Chain A
Amino acid sequence: MFLPARMRKLKIITFEKYTDPVIRSLHEEGITQIDDISERIQEDPQWGQLLKPSKPTPQTGKIASLLMRTTGIIDFMDSLITHKKKITETIKEFLNPPIPKKRKVEELDSESLIMKAEEELSKVESTIKTLESRLNQLEAERGELESKISLWEKLVDFDINFTDITESKYITAIIGKMPIEKFKKAPEKIKEITDEFALFDMETEPPTERKIFLITLKKHEDTIATLLRRMDLERFEIAGLKGIPSKIIQKSKERLEEIHEERKNTIKEVEKIKNEWEEELLILREQLEIEKERNEIYAAFGETENTVMLEAWTPLKDCEKAEKIIRTASKGHCVIEREKPDGSHDSVPTLLENPRFAKPFETLIKMYSPPKYNEYDPTVFMAIVLPFFFGFCLTDAFYGILDALVGFILYRGPGKVNSFMRSFGIIFMACGTWAFILGMITNGFLGDFFPRFLNINLPTVIPLIDAFKEPQNVLLMALITGVLHINFGLIVGARNNIKMGNFREAMGSQIVWIILELGILLLAMGWLFKLFPLMVAGGGVAVLGVILLVYYNGLFGLIDASGFLGTILSYSRLLALCLSTGGMAMTVNIVTGICADFIPIIGVALAPIVFVFGHIANDTFQSLGAFIHSLRLHYVEFFSQFFMGGKRGFNPFSAERKLTKIER
Chain B
Amino acid sequence: MVEITLGTALAAVGAGIAIAFAGFGSAIAQGNVAAASVGAVAEKPEMFARGIIFTALPETQAIYGFLIGILVIVFSGILGGGKGLGTTGGIIALSAGLAIGVAGFGSAIAQGNVAAGSVGAVTEQPEMFARGIIFTALPETQAIYGFLIAILLLVGGVMGGG
Query: Does B63 sit at the interface, judged by CB under 8 A?
Result: yes
Stretch from A3-11, A70-78, A194-202, A572-580 contacting the other chain: A572-580
Query: Does A632 sit at the interface, judged by CB under 8 A?
Result: yes
Chain A: interface residue count, which band? 20 to 34
Q: Which single residue of chain A is at the shortest CB-CB distance from B136?
A: A636
* Cβ–Cβ contact A573 & B60, under 8 A: yes
A369 vs B60: C-alpha distance when bound (angstroms): 23
* Cβ–Cβ contact A369 & B129, under 8 A: yes
CB-CB under 8 A for A566 and B130, given A472-B74, A628-B53: no
* Residue from A368, A563, A577 within 8 A of B63 (CB atoms): A577
* Cβ–Cβ contact A368 & B130, under 8 A: yes
- Closest Cβ of chain A to B45, distance in Å, is 13
Contact residues in A for B134 (Cβ distance below 8 Å): 636, 640
- Chain B interfacial residues counted at CB < 8 A: 28
- Closest Cβ of chain A to B123, distance in Å, is 14
A368 vs B148: C-alpha distance when bound (angstroms): 29
* Cβ–Cβ contact A566 & B148, under 8 A: yes
* Cβ–Cβ contact A566 & B74, under 8 A: no
* Cβ–Cβ contact B144 & A576, under 8 A: no
* Cβ–Cβ contact A635 & B53, under 8 A: yes
Interfacial residues of chain A within 559-590, with CB under 8 A of chain B in the complex:
562-563, 565-566, 569-570, 572-573, 575-577, 579-580
A569 vs B57: C-alpha distance when bound (angstroms): 15
A270 vs B66: C-alpha distance when bound (angstroms): 60
CB-CB under 8 A for A471 and B141, given A635-B53, A636-B133: no
* Cβ–Cβ contact A628 & B56, under 8 A: yes
Interfacial residues of chain A within 595-636, with CB under 8 A of chain B in the complex:
624-625, 628-629, 631-632, 635-636
- Closest Cβ of chain B to A367, distance in Å, is 7
* Cβ–Cβ contact A566 & B67, under 8 A: no
Among B64, B67, B148, residue most surrounded by chain A Cβ atoms (within 10 Å) = B67
Can you list, as one digit per residue, whether each of A153-192 has a CB less than 8 Å from chain B (1) or not (0)? 0000000000000000000000000000000000000000
* Cβ–Cβ contact A576 & B66, under 8 A: yes
Query: Does A646 sit at the interface, judged by CB under 8 A?
Result: yes
* Cβ–Cβ contact A569 & B144, under 8 A: yes
Query: Does A557 sit at the interface, judged by CB under 8 A?
Result: no
Contact residues in A for B137 (Cβ distance below 8 Å): 636, 640
CB-CB under 8 A for A471 and B53, given A368-B129, A368-B130, A566-B140: no
Q: Which single residue of chain A is at the shortest CB-CB distance from B55?
A: A628
Query: Does A645 sit at the interface, judged by CB under 8 A?
Result: yes
Q: Which single residue of chain A is at the shortest CB-CB distance from B147?
A: A569
- Closest Cβ of chain B to A386, distance in Å, is 13
Q: Which single residue of chain B is at the shortest CB-CB distance from A643?
A: B130
- Closest Cβ of chain A to B121, distance in Å, is 14
Contact residues in B for A646 (Cβ distance below 8 Å): 127, 130
* Residue from B50, B57, B66 within 8 A of A632 (CB atoms): B57
* Cβ–Cβ contact B148 & A569, under 8 A: yes
A553 vs B43: C-alpha distance when bound (angstroms): 42
CB-CB under 8 A for A635 and B133, given A569-B144, A573-B63: yes
CB-CB under 8 A for A572 and B56, given A646-B127, A646-B130: no
Query: Does B6 sit at the interface, judged by CB under 8 A?
Result: no
Can you list, as one digit per residue, whether each of B41-83 has a CB less than 8 Å from chain A (1) or not (0)? 0000000011011001101100110110011001000000000
Give me 7 other A-B pairs in contact (C-beta within 8 A), A368-B133, A631-B53, A636-B133 excluded. Answer: A369-B129, A566-B141, A572-B64, A573-B60, A579-B70, A628-B52, A645-B130
Could you tell me which B residues sit within 8 Å of A by CB distance?
49-50, 52-53, 56-57, 59-60, 63-64, 66-67, 70-71, 74, 127, 129-130, 133-134, 137, 140-141, 144-145, 147-148, 151
Show 23 A/B contacts (Cβ-Cβ < 8 Å), sorted by A: A367-B50, A368-B130, A471-B70, A471-B71, A562-B144, A562-B148, A563-B141, A563-B144, A565-B144, A566-B140, A566-B141, A572-B147, A576-B64, A577-B63, A579-B66, A580-B63, A624-B52, A625-B59, A629-B59, A629-B63, A632-B53, A635-B130, A636-B57
